[in-house]
Amino acid sequence: MFLGGFRSDMTGTKATALEATCRAAGRAYVRFDYSGHGDSSGDFLDGTIGSWRDDAVAVLDEVARGRQVLVGSSMGGWIMLLAALARPERVAGLVGIAAAPDFTEDLMWNRYGEDMREELKEKGVIHVPSDYDDEDYPIAYRLIEEGRRHLLLRRPITIHCPIRLWHGKRDPDVPWMTASRIAEIVLSGDVRVFLVPDGDHRLAREQDLARIWASVDELCAAAES
């Protein structure tokens, strides 16, 4: 089951490439759009980390069958951790790709200057440039506020399934040390971090995907045995 990133959708490179890989292996696969993303209904600005977590859990409950390996990209890495905490009995393993738990606080709010913070509080929305879209990203204050209910990197994470974390050391958006921090505080006894020296945030090159999908295959095979 694939969980996409902030403002991405299920037609992205990794989402569709993983489907092809799963089909070739004869494995079932689920990809979906969070509310306010892609083909799903809803306004993006109404979305929050909690509501997108709920979307993922709903897909686990209503669409997926059996125990799942969750693959989370960027924000999807945060969502997969939250989904695993909500439904531990349904999760056989986790594969994070530049996983970005707590990004609303650590990579947005804490990096905004005082003027930006005041504007965000007063107007409720600001627009910030993006390297991944021709248009600026709208950031709602409610996203920041609600995200504080779901911060994970401040205490032990009570997840016990196998976890594989892939991160590019040249990621300009999410520090690669985030993967190390997750590995330090998660309670699973089977956690591995893989750093790609020349990898960027997306890790969408053929060689990147081949290595990441090998981790997916490993955890799927273990769950099936």
Which residues are tagged catalytic? 74, 171, 201
CB 17 within 8 A of CB 212: no
Give the residue from 100, 92, 59 showing the smallest Cα distance to 163: 92
Give the residue from 148, 155, 220, 147 showing the smallest Cα distance to 184: 155
- What Rg value do the Cα atoms of the chain yield, rounded? 17
CA angle 187, 63, 190 (to 5 degrees): 20
CB 68 within 8 A of CB 29: no
CB 201 within 8 A of CB 172: yes
Q: Which long-range contacts (CB under 8 A, 24 or more apart) does 112-116 make?
A: none
Residue matched to tokens 């690669």: 176
What is the H or E stretch that residue 139 is in?
Answer: strand 137-140
